């Protein structure tokens, strides 16, 4: 079945089938020939600072979205001299800005234009990664996430803003220089959607917020706690999907990341810095992904949800069993992982 392409300018389209109903992004505009998927063609990994695009952002000055210098938002100056964190549009966006959003049914399936936003958050140093950052430097990154979130959530059609960070080639980074990505999409992330529905059901049945119950239990039984401060808890989850997986969540019940205060983000930065530096030291700088899950910004009330960051070190490749069953295999008990990380 051929899907007619009416909107040629989009780099992608969103599709969903009637069984899983999960949305996927299909890159339709990047003109990748099937032959380029052959095993011998290795994906490029930009490592040399001389060719690193993020080391030469002065060339992109006109396109920059946000510039921070030593903890403060600044204007884009002529020389860009003192920048410490930048936000720029992604050069190879998964979704692009559009004044309208076209959605349709194609037989039993649904499709939608790949409309949205795709940005990169770049920190200055080519080699120093977030696991080596000070609390103040991590705070700046959290503030940049927060600021971009507030802007993107109010754009037309945007239902969800995803913020994630890939560290290391094994974790899917294509550029060595530390950077995070922000994708604002017209649909809700399927994983999050599932979690939201479960949390809602739980609230209906038990009149309890499931995330609050979990955090209260964890604080009474601190085997899996890696780090905590006044506002945040870092723990290895009871049912970890990967070895050394960590969740960073607020102790106070908060569904929406965008509603965190500056004071709360100071504690968040301390918790994030502790988690990432423990990974860096304890596992000798492993590849990892971290991502934010927060209540969708589609205007509905998600009081039963709680925002959090998940950090997943790339300690094993996804194998057939995980793909076939959806059951992840973690090779260490989270209680043992937490004990190890606490000591780092
Ligand atoms: Zn660089």
State the distance from the centre of ligand 1 to the C-alpha of 226, rounded, in angstroms. 32
Query: What spacing in Å lies between the alpha carbon of 329 and ligand 1's midpoint?
Result: 34
Ramachandran bin of 51, using left for φ above 0, alpha for ψ from -120 to 50, beta for the remaining angles: alpha
Q: Strand 109-113 vs strand 103-106: parallel, antiparallel, or unpaired? A: antiparallel
Centre of ligand 1 from the C-alpha of residue 53, in Å: 6
CA dihedral 270, 255, 68, 166 (to 10 degrees): 70
- pLDDT, position 45: 83
247 forms bridges with which residues in the sheet?
Answer: 235, 310
Q: What is the mean pLDDT of residues 257-264?
A: 98
Q: Angle at the Cα of 249 (from 244 to 250), degrees rounded to 5?
A: 155
At residue 16, the pLDDT reads: 85
Burial class (CB in 10 A: 0-12, 13-18, 19+), 37: exposed
Domains of the chain, first to last = 12-34+42-189 (3.30.428.10), 191-342 (3.30.428.10)
Instruction: Determine the Cα–Cα distance for residues 312 and 45; give it in Å rounded to an integer.
Output: 21
Q: How many residues does the chain have?
A: 344
Please state which of the ranges 29-33, 82-86, 247-251, 267-271 shows the lowest mean pLDDT. 29-33
Look at residue 80 in the predicted model and tell me its pLDDT: 78
Distance from Cα 273 to the centre of ligand 1, integer Å: 21
Q: How far is the CA of 54 from the centre of ligand 1 (A)?
A: 5
CA of 70 to the centre of ligand 1 (A): 18
Q: With contact defined as beta carbons under 8 Å apart, do 119 and 87 qualify?
A: yes
The tokens for 325 are 């069953």
Contact 94/11 with Cβ under 8 angstroms?
yes
Identify whether the C-beta of residue 159 lies closer than 8 Å to the C-beta of residue 185.
Answer: yes
The pLDDT of residue 188 is: 93
pLDDT tier at 32 (50, 70, 90 boundaries)?
A: low
Q: How far is CA 308 from the centre of its chain?
A: 11
* Dist. CA 302–CA 253, nearest whole Å: 12
Calculate how far, in angstroms, residue 184's C-alpha sits from the geometric centre of ligand 1: 25
Ligand 1 centre to CA of 178 (Å) is 8
Which residues are close to ligand 1, an ion, with C-beta < 5 A? 49, 52, 54-55, 126, 177
32/158: higher pLDDT: 158
Q: What count of other Cβ atoms lies within 10 Å of the Cβ of residue 242?
A: 24
Q: Separation of 139 CA from ligand 1 center, angstroms?
A: 21
Centre of ligand 1 from the C-alpha of residue 28, in Å: 29
* Full-model pTM: 0.91
Say if residue 223's pLDDT is above 90.
Answer: yes
Question: 3: CA distance to ligand 1 center in Å?
Answer: 40
Q: What is the reported pLDDT for 59?
A: 85
Question: What is the chain's mean pLDDT, rounded?
Answer: 90
What counts of helices (H) and strands (E) characterise the chain?
A: 6, 15
Give the Å distance between the CA of 47 and the centre of ligand 1.
8
Output the CA 56–ligand 1 centroid distance in Å. Answer: 7
Q: How far is the CA of 175 from the centre of ligand 1 (A)?
A: 8
Q: 27: pLDDT confidence band, cut at 50, 70 and 90?
A: confident
What is the distance in A from the centroid of ligand 1 to the CA of 173? 13
Q: What is the distance between the alpha carbons of residues 142 and 119, in angstroms, rounded to a whole number?
A: 15
Task: Let me know: does 163 contact 149? Beta carbons within 8 Å.
Answer: yes
List the beta bridge partners of residue 85: 68, 123
| Ligand 1 centroid distance, CA of 58 (Å) | 12
Whether residue 142 is predicted with pLDDT greater than 90 in this model: the reply is: yes
pLDDT tens for residues 173-222?
889 999 999 999 999 988 899 999 999 999 999 999 999 999 999 999 99
User: Ligand 1 centre and the CA of 118: distance in Å?
Assistant: 20
Q: Quick: pLDDT tens for 291-328.
A: 999 999 999 999 999 999 999 999 776 677 777 777 77
Ligand 1 centre distance from Cα of residue 224 (Å): 36
Using pLDDT thresholds of 50, 70 and 90, give the confidence band for residue 138.
very high
Nearest alpha-carbon partner for 269 in 170, 137, 155, 149: 137
* Closest alpha carbon to 134 in 146, 122, 126, 142: 142
Taking Cα atoms as reference points, which of 311, 323, 315 lies closest to residue 243? 315
pLDDT above 90 covers what percent of the chain? 72
Tell me if 118 sits within 8 A of 207, measured CB to CB.
Answer: no
187 Cα: distance to centroid of ligand 1 (angstroms): 32
Q: How confident is the model at residue 285 (pLDDT cuts 50, 70, 90)?
A: very high
- Confidence class of residue 3 from pLDDT cuts 50, 70 and 90? very low
Q: State residue 76 phi and psi, 5-degree precision.
A: -70, 110
> Mean pLDDT over residues 42-46, rounded?
72
pLDDT tens digits, 85-120: 999 999 989 999 998 999 999 999 999 999 999 999
């Amino acid at each position: 079945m051929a899907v007619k392409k009416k909107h040629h300018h989009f780099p992608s389209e969103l599709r969903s089938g009637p069984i899983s109903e999960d949305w996927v992004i299909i890159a339709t505009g990047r003109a990748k020939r099937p032959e380029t998927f052959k095993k011998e063609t290795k994906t490029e990994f930009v490592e040399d600072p001389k060719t690193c695009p993020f080391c030469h952002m002065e060339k992109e000055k006109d396109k920059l979205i946000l510039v921070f210098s030593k903890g403060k938002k600044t204007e884009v100056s002529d020389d860009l001299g003192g920048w410490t964190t930048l936000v720029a549009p992604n050069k190879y966006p998964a979704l692009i800005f559009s004044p309208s959003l076209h959605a349709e049914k194609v037989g039993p399936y649904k499709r939608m234009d790949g409309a949205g936003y795709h940005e990169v958050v770049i920190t200055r140093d080519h080699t120093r990664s977030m696991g080596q950052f000070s609390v103040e430097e991590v705070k700046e990154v959290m503030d940049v996430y927060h600021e971009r979130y507030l802007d993107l959530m109010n754009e037309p059609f945007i239902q969800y803003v995803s913020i994630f960070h890939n560290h290391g080639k094994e974790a899917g980074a294509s550029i060595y220089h530390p950077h995070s990505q922000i994708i604002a999409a017209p649909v809700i992330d399927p994983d999050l959607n599932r979690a939201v529905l479960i949390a809602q059901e739980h609230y209906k049945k038990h009149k309890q917020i499931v995330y609050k119950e979990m955090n209260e239990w964890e604080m009474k039984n601190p085997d899996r706690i890696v780090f905590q401060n006044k506002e945040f808890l870092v723990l290895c989850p009871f049912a970890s999907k990967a070895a050394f997986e960590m969740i960073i969540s607020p102790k106070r019940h908060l569904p929406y990341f965008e509603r965190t205060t500056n004071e709360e983000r100071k504690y968040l930065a301390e918790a994030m810095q502790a988690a990432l530096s423990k990974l860096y030291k304890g596992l000798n700088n492993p590849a990892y992904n971290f991502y934010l899950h927060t209540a969708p910004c589609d205007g509905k009330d998600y009081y039963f949800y709680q925002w959090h960051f998940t950090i997943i070190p790339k300690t094993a490749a996804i194998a057939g069993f995980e793909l076939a069953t959806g059951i992840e295999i973690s090779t260490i008990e989270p209680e043992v992982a937490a004990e190890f990380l606490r000591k780092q």
